[in-house]
């Protein structure tokens, strides 16, 4: 029985994204993250949480550090009657989704999932689902967050989550590794993942001979097609036929070997062959301005420590790295998958500050899923203290055709201080963008930018870079000026 709530207890409001598994729902209160348990999941928690492997993985950060609330703490909240226990999780600094992760991060998440499951099975514990949404990142380090996923192993029962594993983790990785198809846009459109049948439509005949495709793709789809007429429970029938848990462990070993060998090399892609991927090094004016820009960023960042910094259009992550010296979390966003992949691989796997994500800022992640609330839009996942917008505004205004006042308005809506770089129309990069276009961008001027900035920000500092064609701004949102100055 759950403890009786105190008269002043507040009813909990569950996270709208946690409805799928009714036995372990999540809610947030006073900046802390909690998970309710029912009778079944309470028993599972008691059995799993005392295991050595579980405690060890929590201490190394591979499983989210979690504690159980005492009865007196539970009384602060008013729960539905089925709730019998409550867990408190350590907070993840920034929630990200698989459709934003580069290949390297989905691969790390997949290997963690396989590794956890393989070890759990040796302790008679199972993971009841297998979705990358159960994993988050601290920097580039994956953390398993869905404690409700651990359940006692039912001996000799097949792995129920294998299809989910393929559709949300394995097939996306295979498509990018073998076909160069960016899985992010597919996973963003299909939250349940890529069915085997659809996976095969993107695979060439000769790919059937590449590791993992025939068995996990072709045979999987064929069996799904042919097993549709079966009316009895396949789980029960397989158990009666002598299925053994050991077969799952063999399969996990094969899947781990397969995923470990998968690579996506952005150097071989079209993106990396363009000047965008390396433009810091190849364009003379950028090289000339680089040092001054780095100094400017460092000067602003070192004034005080920030909790959350967003680096919009981070490119090779040079400024994310500078910001990371003075921030708890830096979210490095760029639409160029090659840049993000290289940045991700160049960072120490154990670092917990910079999180590189694939994001087209002219079309950032929207609210998704049931009622558009299951997966939150980018802007709803935490207010940045500082936004770096370097080498980006001309792409948004001149390439994506977003009016300059809208861009500034969006930057202001983020709520943080702003570090903005503005290249004039005489800048080589801007000329390149306008080379084959009608110049309909009368609003794209330094004077107009200053006017727009002053509507929402106080401009603290304005500096021209040595090339003379680019200007840097440090701006503070109006109303926050005093607190930022005094910090």
Partner 1 sequence: MSSLFAYFDPSAGSLLLQAFVGGAGGIVVIGRYLWMQFWAKQSTQVR
Residues lying near partner 1 in the complex (CB under 8 A): 20-22, 40, 128-129, 151-152, 154-155, 157-164, 166, 215-216, 219-228, 230, 232, 234-244, 246-248, 250-251, 254
In this structure, what token pair is assigned to residue 195?
A: 């069915």
Q: What's the closest the beta carbon of residue 107 comes to partner 1, in angstroms? A: 21
Count the helix, strand and coil residues of the chain and give each as a percent rounded to the nearest 5.
Answer: 45, 20, 35
Q: 163 or 298, CB closer to partner 1?
A: 163
Q: 61 or 158, CB closer to partner 1?
A: 158
Residue 438, helix vs strand vs coil: coil
227 DSSP 8-state letter = G
Q: 21 or 115, CB closer to partner 1?
A: 21
Alpha carbons 397 and 394: distance in angstroms, whole number: 5
Q: What's the closest the beta carbon of residue 132 comes to partner 1, in angstroms? A: 14
Q: What's the closest the beta carbon of residue 124 comes to partner 1, in angstroms? A: 10
Helix H or strand E segment including 377:
none
Alpha carbons 260 and 267: distance in angstroms, whole number: 19
Closest CA to 1 of 58, 65, 74: 74
Alpha carbons 45 and 63: distance in angstroms, whole number: 13
Alpha carbons 391 and 294: distance in angstroms, whole number: 13
Q: 161 or 412, CB closer to partner 1?
A: 161
Q: What's the closest the beta carbon of residue 190 comes to partner 1, in angstroms? A: 14
Q: What's the closest the beta carbon of residue 372 comes to partner 1, in angstroms? A: 21
Residues 385/306, Cβ–Cβ less than 8 Å: yes
Q: 124 or 458, CB closer to partner 1?
A: 124
Taking the CA atoms of residue 202, residue 208, residue 212 and residue 214 in that order, the dihedral angle to the nearest 10 degrees is 100
Residue 142, helix vs strand vs coil: strand
Angle formed at CA 158 by CA 154 and CA 159, multiple of 5 degrees: 90
Helix H or strand E segment including 417:
strand 417-423
Q: What's the closest the beta carbon of residue 33 comes to partner 1, in angstroms? A: 21
Q: What's the closest the beta carbon of residue 234 comes to partner 1, in angstroms? A: 4
Q: 31 or 228, CB closer to partner 1?
A: 228
Q: 210 or 352, CB closer to partner 1?
A: 210
Q: What's the closest the beta carbon of residue 459 comes to partner 1, in angstroms? A: 52
Alpha carbons 306 and 385: distance in angstroms, whole number: 6
418-443 per-residue burial string, b: 16 or more CB within 10 A, e: under 16: bbbbbbbbebebbeebbeeeeeebee
Q: 9 or 221, CB closer to partner 1?
A: 221
Q: How many CB atoms lie within 10 A of CB 312?
A: 25
Q: 155 or 366, CB closer to partner 1?
A: 155
Q: What's the closest the beta carbon of residue 200 comes to partner 1, in angstroms? A: 13
**Tokens 């979210």 identify what position?**
331
């Amino acid at each position: 029985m759950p403890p009786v709530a105190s008269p002043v207890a507040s009813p909990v409001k569950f996270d709208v994204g946690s409805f799928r598994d009714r036995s372990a729902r999540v809610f947030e209160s006073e900046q802390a993250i909690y998970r309710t348990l029912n009778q079944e999941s309470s028993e599972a928690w008691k059995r799993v949480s005392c295991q050595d492997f579980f405690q060890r993985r929590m201490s190394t950060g591979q499983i989210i550090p979690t504690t159980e609330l005492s009865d007196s703490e539970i009384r602060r909240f008013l729960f539905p009657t089925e709730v019998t226990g409550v867990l408190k999780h350590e907070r993840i600094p920034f929630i990200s989704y698989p459709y934003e992760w580069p290949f390297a991060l989905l691969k790390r998440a997949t290997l963690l999932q396989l590794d956890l499951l393989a070890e759990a099975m040796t302790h008679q514990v199972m993971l009841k689902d297998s979705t990358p949404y159960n994993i988050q990142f601290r920097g580039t380090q994956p953390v398993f967050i869905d404690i409700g996923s651990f359940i006692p192993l039912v001996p000799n029962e097949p792995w129920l989550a294998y299809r989910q594993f393929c559709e949300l983790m394995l097939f996306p990785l295979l498509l990018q590794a073998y076909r160069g198809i960016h899985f992010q846009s597919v996973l963003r459109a299909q939250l349940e993942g890529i069915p085997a049948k659809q996976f095969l439509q993107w695979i060439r005949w000769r790919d059937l001979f590449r590791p993992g495709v025939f068995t996990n793709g072709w045979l999987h789809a064929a069996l799904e097609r042919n097993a549709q007429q079966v009316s009895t429970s396949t789980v029960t029938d397989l158990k009666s036929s002598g299925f053994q848990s050991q077969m799952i462990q063999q399969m996990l070993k094969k899947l781990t070997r397969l995923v470990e060998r998968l690579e996506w090399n952005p150097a071989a892609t079209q993106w990396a062959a363009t000047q965008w991927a390396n433009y810091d090094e190849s364009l003379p004016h950028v090289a000339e301005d680089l040092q001054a820009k780095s100094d400017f960023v460092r000067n602003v960042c070192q004034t005080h420590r920030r909790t959350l910094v967003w680096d919009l259009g981070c490119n090779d992550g040079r400024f994310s790295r500078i910001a990371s010296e003075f921030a708890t979390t830096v979210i490095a966003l760029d639409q160029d998958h090659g840049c993000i992949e290289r940045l991700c691989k160049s960072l120490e796997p154990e670092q917990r500050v910079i999180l590189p994500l694939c994001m087209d800022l002219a079309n950032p992640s929207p609210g998704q899923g049931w009622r558009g609330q299951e997966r939150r839009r980018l802007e709803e996942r935490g207010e940045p203290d500082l936004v770096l917008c370097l080498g980006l505004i001309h792409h948004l205004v001149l390439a994506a055709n977003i009016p300059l006042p809208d861009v500034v308005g969006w930057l202001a809506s983020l709520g943080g201080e702003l570090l903005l770089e503005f290249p004039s129309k005489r800048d080589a990069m801007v000329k390149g963008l306008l080379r084959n276009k009608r110049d309909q961008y009368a609003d794209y001027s330094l004077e107009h930018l200053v006017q727009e900035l002053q509507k929402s920000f106080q401009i603290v500092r304005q500096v021209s870079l040595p090339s003379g064609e680019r200007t840097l701004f440090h701006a503070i949102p109006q109303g926050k000026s005093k607190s930022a100055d005094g910090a």
